[in-house]
């Protein structure tokens, strides 16, 4: 099946995202087999032929059967459930990368390293069907697993995976790329090769680094290479919970203290003060509204994203070079 093209009905061999409560996992549908989780035993035969998004009931819980939702895979779902071969980039950073690199259908992108393929799936979905992603990793086993994974997800036409040391070997795609993404321990060492990979007409570059010292070295070299629009940002996700709130209505009557004087017969001091200062709070007349609060525990720092623009090659020419070209043209016209 394809992570790029959607289809309606679950078939044998499809990858399905299983959603239950606040949890997610993935399964590969195999006719005649089943899978188990804490909610029970689920038959793949019950999935086959059903539309994606269907509720699938456990086969062994009697009348009180638990259920799951069988969802179509997307890059966002895959980021939640993928097998971790390395640390991955999550949806909040991925969305910023695809936006700031100006990715669109037809873009040619260079990525290093591939890792677990979280970002690769999102880039492939964004640039398909006419774009292409060249992704590199130095670890041979990870490269082979990524190739098999991309093939099973229908992405082989969009993604090319190769093994290479980005800081030593280069990429072999000089002048072909519209954008470059670097996720390396020493991104500054790969910048000269990344610069060659970008088109001479210019392009966008992004480097993901968890430490600010890496960012400083990268930015220093980008300035030396005459890159422009250098920007480093940190994306922090802040979740809000919306829930109904009820506030008792308090009558805003006079709160002035009563004048001193003698109490009437049979009147208690407490009742007198309460009646004269205002009515008691009426719980039956309450104000209901929806309030929002931040979730107590939230994800913190993931990494810094450094973006920069490679200018057009003509803009990098020095005035002296332009003058030399002009002089040569003048001499040629004189000789004529």
Give, in order, the Cα–Cα distances in Å from 179 to each of 10, 163, 305, 310.
35, 19, 14, 10
Instruction: Say if residue 116 carries a ligand binding annotation.
Output: yes
Q: What contacts 125, CB < 8 A, 6 or more positions away?
A: 3, 4, 74, 75
Instruction: Say if residue 118 carries a ligand binding annotation.
Output: yes
Instruction: Say if residue 300 carries a ligand binding annotation.
Output: no
Work out whether the CA dihedral 132, 133, 134, 140 comes out positive or negative. Answer: negative
Asked whether 323 and 280 are in contact (CB, 8 A), the reply is: no
In this structure, the dihedral spanned by the alpha carbons of residues 93, 96, 102 and 106, taken in order and rounded to 10 degrees, is 40
Distance CA 138, CA 119 (A): 17
Greatest distance between any 2 Cα atoms in the chain: 127
Q: Are strands 67-71 and 159-163 parallel, antiparallel or unpaired?
A: unpaired
Crossing angle for the helix pair 91-100 and 118-127, nearest 10 degrees?
A: 40
Instruction: Say if residue 155 carries a ligand binding annotation.
Output: no
Binding-site sequence positions for S-adenosyl-L-methionine: 116-119, 137, 183
Binding-site sequence positions: 116-119, 137, 183
């Amino acid at each position: 099946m394809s992570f790029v093209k959607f289809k309606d009905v679950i078939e044998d061999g499809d990858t399905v995202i299983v959603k239950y409560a606040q949890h997610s996992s993935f399964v590969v549908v195999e006719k005649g087999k089943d899978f188990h989780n804490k909610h029970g035993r689920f038959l793949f035969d019950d999935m086959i032929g059903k539309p994606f998004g269907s509720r699938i009931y456990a086969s062994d819980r009697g009348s009180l059967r638990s259920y799951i939702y069988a969802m179509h895979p997307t890059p966002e779902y895959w980021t939640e459930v993928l097998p971790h071969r390395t640390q991955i980039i999550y949806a909040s950073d991925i969305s910023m990368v695809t936006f700031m690199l100006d990715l669109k259908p037809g873009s040619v992108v260079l990525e290093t390293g591939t890792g677990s393929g979280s970002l690769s799936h999102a880039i492939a979905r964004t640039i398909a069907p006419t774009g292409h992603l060249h992704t590199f990793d130095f670890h041979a086993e990870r490269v082979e697993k990524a190739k098999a994974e991309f093939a099973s997800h229908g992405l082989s036409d969009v993604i090319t995976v190769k093994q290479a040391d980005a800081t030593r070997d280069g990429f072999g795609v000089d002048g072909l790329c519209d954008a470059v993404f670097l996720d390396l321990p020493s991104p500054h060492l790969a910048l000269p090769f990344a610069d060659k990979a970008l088109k001479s007409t210019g392009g966008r570059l992004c480097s993901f680094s968890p430490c600010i010292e890496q960012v400083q070295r990268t930015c220093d070299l980008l300035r030396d290479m005459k890159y422009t629009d250098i920007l480093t940002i940190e994306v922090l996700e802040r979740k809000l919970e919306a829930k109904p709130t009820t506030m008792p209505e308090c009558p805003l009557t006079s709160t002035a203290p009563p004048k001193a004087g003698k109490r009437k017969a049979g009147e208690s001091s407490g009742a007198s003060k309460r009646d004269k200062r205002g009515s008691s709070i009426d719980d039956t007349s309450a104000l209901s509204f929806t309030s929002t609060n931040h979730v107590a525990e939230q994800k913190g720092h993931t990494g810094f994203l450094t973006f920069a623009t490679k200018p057009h090659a003509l803009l990098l020419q020095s005035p002296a070079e332009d003058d030399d070209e002009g002089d040569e043209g003048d001499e040629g016209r004189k000789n004529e």
